[in-house]
């Protein structure tokens, strides 16, 4: 075996994480759900979501049979909601087209929504113990520092080189432990900020450590400064109920229930026109709430909440699959974006 995995596995045996919930009662289904949740999300954040998800959707048939609203409800707050929609779609596909048997080959996994090459590699290595490389953010960071790769790791040519290194290091034996070990190393020692090089098993062989450039790597192509947008969110209340609208399946918060909104900051004239146009009613009371910012991966959104009270039901609003009256005191199992959850709690 190559010295790199030997050294890494020796470290993992002493210091690796072995009590994560998806490491116990290990099944392809549990590994798959955990890997999707862990995409761009830290372990500590994922754990409570994973446990709640597994309590409700104990196996793949339970997930596939569920309504999308319920899946999104249990995902609410975890972010990147396309992951939840793809997870649900993939579960349905496995049940309908693969006889309920979760696939154990790279080609088959790559046909499922939401699974790319690195996620497929993690599933194959951890769930099926098949020697398949991964290249997530943690692994890129470890390899870039260990080899002193100064070129941007998000460059296609450099990424190809890193896949070759990841393949070279992936052992034929103990591949599940190795995959967990290299992710653990990046998550606990070779971290983006404040890496603990003194405790790293590769400190003496690491090029970045030897050349005192650990904090400079991995390098990335310069990204544009993300823009700031603003939107007015309308909390339209009739008695104890708040009007919610279902967002389109694609795009930000796809498939979730959100508040009526329009672009820009609140303006009383614009608010009246919006309410008359959308609901066929004028509001009776208005309260401008505190503005706050929610950050997506590619822009900041400044949210300007406005609460209005309606004495009668709007003529144009009828409950259907796209809009509902929601009682925060008796919450139903629907997917709500984190900012909307926050606003509803403040309104109470």
Average pLDDT over residues 124-148: 97
Percent of the chain with pLDDT over 90: 78
Fill in the DSSP letter of residue 113: T
**pLDDT number for residue 320:** 63
55-59, 300-304, 305-309: which has the minimum mean pLDDT?
Answer: 305-309
182-220 residue pLDDT tens: 999 999 999 999 999 999 999 999 999 999 999 999 998
Q: Verify whether residue 35 is a known catalytic residue.
A: yes
The reported pTM is: 0.89
Instruction: Give the Cα separation of 69 and 76 in Å (integer).
Output: 10
Average pLDDT over residues 162-181: 97
Q: Of these residues, 35, 51, 70, 211, which one is catalytic?
A: 35
63-83 residue pLDDT tens: 999 999 999 999 999 999 999
Q: Please check whether residue 170 is in contact with residue 5, taking contact to mean a CB–CB distance below 8 angstroms.
A: yes
Mean pLDDT of the chain: 93
**pLDDT number for residue 202:** 97
Instruction: Give the Cα separation of 48 and 74 in Å (integer).
Output: 10
Percent of the chain with pLDDT over 70: 97
Q: Please check whether residue 211 is in contact with residue 313, taking contact to mean a CB–CB distance below 8 angstroms.
A: no
Neighbouring CB atoms inside 10 A of 284's CB total 10
78-111 residue pLDDT tens: 999 999 999 999 999 999 999 999 999 999 999 9
**pLDDT number for residue 330:** 87
3-state DSSP assignment of residue 249: coil
**pLDDT number for residue 278:** 80
Identify the structural domains of the chain with CATH numbers, from first to last: 3-216 (1.10.340.30), 228-347 (3.90.79.10)
């Amino acid at each position: 075996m190559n010295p790199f995995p030997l050294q890494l596995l020796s470290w993992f045996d002493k210091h690796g994480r072995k009590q994560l919930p998806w490491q116990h009662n290990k099944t392809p289904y549990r590994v798959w759900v955990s890997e999707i949740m862990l995409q761009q999300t830290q372990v500590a954040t994922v754990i409570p979501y994973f446990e709640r998800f597994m309590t409700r959707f104990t196996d793949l048939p339970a997930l596939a049979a569920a309504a999308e609203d319920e899946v999104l409800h249990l995902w609410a707050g975890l972010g990147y909601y396309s992951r939840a929609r793809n997870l649900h779609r993939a579960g349905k596909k496995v049940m309908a087209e693969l006889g309920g048997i979760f696939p154990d080959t790279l080609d088959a996994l790559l046909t499922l929504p939401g699974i790319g090459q690195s996620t497929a590699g993690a599933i194959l290595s951890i769930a099926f113990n098949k020697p398949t490389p991964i290249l997530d953010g943690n692994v890129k960071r470890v390899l870039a520092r260990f080899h002193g790769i100064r070129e941007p790791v998000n460059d296609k040519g450099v990424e190809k080189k890193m896949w070759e290194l990841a393949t070279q290091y992936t052992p034929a034996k103990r591949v599940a432990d190795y995959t967990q070990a290299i992710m653990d190393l990046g998550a606990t020692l070779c971290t983006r900020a404040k890496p603990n090089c003194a405790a790293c098993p590769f400190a003496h062989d690491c090029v970045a450590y030897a050349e005192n450039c650990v904090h400079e790597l991995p390098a990335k192509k310069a990204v544009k400064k993300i823009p700031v947008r603003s939107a007015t969110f309308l909390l339209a209340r009739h008695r104890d109920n708040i009007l919610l609208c279902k967002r389109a399946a694609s795009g930000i918060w796809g498939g979730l229930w959100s508040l009526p909104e329009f672009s820009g900051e609140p303006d009383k004239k614009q608010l009246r026109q919006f309410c008359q146009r959308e609901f066929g009613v004028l509001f009776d009371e208005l309260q401008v709430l505190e503005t706050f910012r929610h950050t997506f991966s590619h822009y900041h959104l400044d949210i300007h909440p406005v609460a209005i009270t309606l004495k009668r039901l709007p003529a144009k609003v009828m409950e259907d699959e796209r809009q509902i009256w929601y009682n925060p005191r008796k919450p139903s199992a629907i997917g709500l974006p984190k900012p909307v959850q926050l606003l509803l709690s403040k309104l109470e």
